Each structure stands twice: as C-alpha cells, then as structure tokens.
Amino acid sequence: MKTAVAVYTSSSSLNGRKLADLAWAAGIQLRFMALGGYIPSNADEIQKKSLSTINGGAMLVVGAFDDAGESMAEFDSLVEIGDRLPIAEMLNGVKLPWCELYTSRFDYEKTVRAKPKDQPKIDGSVPKAHLSSVKAAKTRYIIYNQSRKKNCQQLMTRLADCIASHTNGVVADYQRTSR
C-alpha cells in the first residue's frame, strides 16, 4: 500500500477554496484542519490564500466520498461546537478518510544541489518521460496516508489526481528525502 504521493507542477499553489472545488467536482467533500486534528483558527485564510503560505504549508485534509454525507455533516457539527475529542475518535476510527497535505515551493536544481544523494529518489519517483515536468516544477504537494487505511489511501490518490489534472502536474511515488 502506498503511504505517500507527490504532485509536481509548474503552476502556483492552489488555495483551499480551489482545492475543495476541484475535489467536489470529483465527488469528494473536503475539510481542512491543522495537523494533529486541531480545529483551525484561520479557516478564512485557508480558503483564500495559497496553501503553501498557510500553517507552513502543512495541514490535515478530511474527506468524504459521495456516500458519506451523514458522516461529514456530523463532523461539521463537531467542528462548529469545537468538540475535539469526538473529532479525533471519528478520524482515528476512520469514519472519514484523512491525509496530511504538505504544499511548498519547489526548485529541482536547488534541491539536488543542496542534497545530491536525494536526486535518485526524486528522479526515480516518476517515469523518465515525466522527469522534465518534475525538473520544471515550481510547486510540490506531498500527501501522506499516515493511517494506512484503504479509504485514506483512496482519498490520497484521488486528491493527487485532482491536483495533477487541474495544474498539469505529474503524480509521483514520493520517496522521503534525507533531512
């Protein structure tokens, strides 16, 4: 099971509203939270600003597919009243799928100059035919399925496909780089 994918694109980072709209068109309802399952205090900012500039580019994305509308309504009610414990129970019980989303600017040349040993991981994450797209990328989205649950993997891959198709990006098998 894949636990992480990346999308490399030459487009600027999306804002939360645009990403939610793209997901909605693909049959996914999205909600954004702070990492750790915290209710974000900057919900308006997430909707309007580039995702790479919000919370250091890191957030938790909670999704619902077409058949999970009741679960999302329950989730929205819990967020509205600020009841974090039942939210955590919902997410830990995988009643709704979730992933971590990291959005950042990306410069291939700068990255491989700074960490040459990472070049094979980056280059090998896509077919050779798509390597030029990775090298030209200005934005990288990394989506982690930390729960390793099937519905969370579905959210991860469908979200990556939404981002890639809208931004003319390429989906890569993300390989964790060195620190």
Place of tokens 């939404």: 162
Q: For residue 26, what are the β-bridge partners? A: none
Instruction: For residues 66 and 3, give the distance between their C-alpha atoms in angstroms, rounded to a whole number.
Output: 23
pLDDT of residue 42: 67
Mean pLDDT of 91-114: 91
CA-based Rg of the chain, rounded to a whole angstrom? Answer: 16
Domain ranges of the chain: 4-173
148: tokens are: 């390793």
Q: Is the pLDDT of residue 37 over 80?
A: no
The contacts of residue 12 (CB under 8 Å, 6+ apart) are: 50, 138, 139
Q: How confident is the model at residue 176 (pLDDT cuts 50, 70, 90)?
A: low
Average pLDDT over the chain, rounded to an integer: 87
Q: How confident is the model at residue 164 (pLDDT cuts 50, 70, 90)?
A: very high
Per-residue pLDDT reduced to its tens digit, 50-82: 889 888 889 989 888 876 678 888 888 888 888
Q: Which residues of 9-41 are buried (b: 16+ CB within 10 A; e: fewer)?
A: bbeebbbbebbbebbeeeebbbbbbbeebeebe
Element (H, E) at 2: none
DSSP letter for each residue of 114-175: H-GGGHHHHHTTS-GGGHHHHHH-SEEEEEE-TT--HHHHHHHHHHHHHHHHHHT-EEEE--
Mean pLDDT of 122-151: 90
Instruction: Give 175: exposed, middle or buried? Use CB within 10 Å, 0-12, 13-18, 19+.
Output: middle
Percent of the chain scored above 90 by pLDDT?
41
